[in-house]
Amino acid sequence: MEKILFVILAVLGIAAAHVIGPRIRVAAPLLLVVAGAIIGVLPFVPEVEVDPEWILIGVLPPLLYSAAVSMPTMDFRRDFAAISAMSVVLVVISSVVLGVFFDQIIPGVDLATGIALGAIVSPTDAVATSIAKRLGVPGRVIAILEGESLLNDATALVLLRAAVAATAAGFSFGHVAVSFLWAVIAAVAIGAVVGWGNLWVRRRVGDATVNTAISFTVPYLAYLPAEELGASGLVAAVTAGLITGAGAVRYLSPRHRVSDAQNWRTVEFLAEGGVFLLMGLELWALLVDVRNDHGGIVTAVWIGLSALAMTAVVRALYVTPLIVWLDRVARRRTAMRPYLENMDASIVEKSRRAAADGTGVAATSAERGRRPSLRFGRAKRNRARAEQLSTAAFAENPESAQRVRDRITRAMADIDYYTASPMGPKEGAIIVWAGMRGVVTLAAAQTLPADTPSRELLVLIAFVVAAASLIAQGGTLGWLIRVLRLADVSDDRAAERTRLHAELSRTASETLAGSDVAARFPWIRERIEKMERQADADDTVIGTNLAFRAAFEQTRREVIDAQRETLMRMRSTGTYHSNLLSHELAQLDAEEISLDMRVDDD
């Protein structure tokens, strides 16, 4: 009974923290840590102790999987270089630098153990992303922070495991590097298989409740075999999540996706809040252990604060040249836009000529299916290659010509994205200061082997780093964002939304023009076109009771399917902002669900 009561109170406390936090401008995780610490001191509260394996196996895989599913794959692709640099290279550099520091400053701690502790305190938390979203930070900064917090957890835990293994076998950079590569490569392969298998199975399950229940097993289906093979279970879970998120629109029904999103959001909410609350509850017992074994907690506090300062300095020194490099890449790609526009116009002209010529001239085997490369650093060679593509080749394979145009459109959309969201000193400052620690640091610290020298001290140092970063960085990040006054993109987004709605309306008109049902019943076409005009006015698609409902619903589903295909193509080419595309997909999902519910009611 006491355990059930504890769980109920914990859930209510997590909910209260997320309601109160925004009102007093304090991050909910910080409130949970403080509340847990206060409750843990009370004499009538028993000592709370949870096996850290439950956190690593039971909490982290679904947390990272859920974050990966909701990560916009278009933004992830566009800033993959920056995300990889932040989530892999920076974590390794920070871990090694901190490892040397801990090796020199803590008696009895060797380099391998120091790197293990460095890996524990290196990964950042997604708390910064939630704060940044609430305060209107540009989407590109949020995408980089989301991608970093998604992948650096797995990187840090892979490095932690390799370093812990090295403490037993003798430290070797070569051994750690090989272990790291195997853990990542094998995990990506396993995660990919599980991700595609998940989509293949769930698209054949009609019941939304059963479908969502199956989704709860996916992170563990990726995690467990990866761990058995010595790979990273978390990397596998993240990979499965990315593939599921990218393919969900195509393979899962709207009802399934909405059910997934709501249920997984609840799981993520409770799991992450529970870890922060647990951190506070365990803090007092940890302080007592360190005081008894090491004569006080001052050492842990000053080492933890020093480590936090070092991580901030290393992060700043790393992010500064990264921002400069991203700006140079963006300017180089912008210079390529005239060439891409000319190339696209040339393809359009040759395709038009091919269509006008009818059958055209048969293409040679060398020309057939040839597509120009879009490597930005080889413009002259690509231009010559594009000029070699004859009109006959486009007549022979118009689908290939369209694929080339899609690639060009995606490249130009990427250029527009980089131009509209430049990375400068202000954005760099936010990325640096957003490097606060959280869930993974707390969970990973408690997985250190029991025979690790000064284990309680090392765990407390990790707690100090996480708590201090939440207080210092989490408490001031909002202030920093307001002071920097980043550019407002709302006007650009409104214009982009207008263009997107115009394209969707055009798709609806084209679908209706080819519909036999709409041709037999003109009122259906008029009604759907009226609904489209209403959707443009208030972003709401409204369905009402009409005669011949079955015919209306059939035609409306055809329009929705066509519009969804258009949105998916736009997501593939990156023509519009990911938030707009997600919003419009959600609108279509909502309408299709309403159609399903009307059928169910009948």
Beta strands in 534-574 (DSSP E): none
Please check whether residues 352 and 460 belong to one and the same domain.
Answer: no
User: Cβ(91)–Cβ(119) under 8 Å?
Assistant: yes
- Regarding whether 533 and 404 lie in a shared domain, the answer is no
Whether residues 360 and 433 share a domain: the answer is no
560 and 483 fall within a common domain: no
Q: Does residue 82 have a pLDDT over 60?
A: yes
Q: How far apart (Å, rounded) are the C-alpha atoms in residues 360 and 369?
A: 15
Task: Check residue 189 and give its pLDDT.
Answer: 95
Q: Are residues 539 and 433 in the same domain?
A: no
CA distance 330 to 82: 12
- Tens of pLDDT, residues 281-311: 888 877 887 777 766 688 888 999 999 999 9
Tell whether 71 and 125 lie within a shared domain. Answer: yes
What is the pLDDT at residue 540?
43
Q: How confident is the model at residue 547 (pLDDT cuts 50, 70, 90)?
A: very low
Q: Nearest CA to 417 among 213, 234, 151, 144?
A: 144
- Identify the pLDDT of residue 529: 73
Instruction: Please state, in angstroms and rounded to a whole number, the distance separating the CA atoms of residues 581 and 583.
Output: 5
Stretch 145-165: mean pLDDT: 83
* 365, 395: one domain: yes
Spell out a b/e string for 133-149, using b for 16 or more CB atoms within 10 Å of the CB, else e: eeeebbbbbbbbbbbbb
What average pLDDT does the chain have? 80
SS3 of residue 408 by DSSP? helix
For residue 474, the model assigns a pLDDT of 78
Cβ neighbors of 474 (< 8 A, separation 6 or more) are: 27, 29, 30, 127, 128, 131, 436
Share of the chain above pLDDT 70, in %: 83
Neighbours of 337 (CB within 10 A): 14
b (16+ CB within 10 A) / e for 97-108: bbbebbbeebee
The Cα–Cα gap between 333 and 97 comes to 34
Domain identity same for 383 and 395: yes
User: Residue 239 sits in a domain of what CATH number?
Assistant: 1.20.1530.20
Q: pLDDT at position 323, please? A: 93
* pLDDT > 90? residue 225: yes
**Residue scoring higher pLDDT (195 or 552):** 195
How many folded domains does the chain comprise? 3
pTM of the model: 0.75
Alpha helices in 173-232 (DSSP H): 173-202, 208-215, 218-228
Task: Judge if 429 and 339 occupy the same domain.
Answer: no
What residues make up the domain containing 347?
A: 332-419
Q: Which of 419, 438, 454 is the last residue of a domain?
A: 419
Same structural domain for residues 363 and 276? no
CA distances from 552 to 134, 222, 427, 587 (A): 40, 43, 49, 18
- Domain boundary (419, 439, 470) is at 419
Contact in structure between 508 and 562 (CB atoms under 8 Å): yes
Q: Is 41 found in the same domain as 149?
A: yes
Q: Which of 487, 517, 543 is the last residue of a domain?
A: 487
pLDDT at 352 over 90: no
Query: Are both 597 and 499 inside the same structural domain?
Result: yes
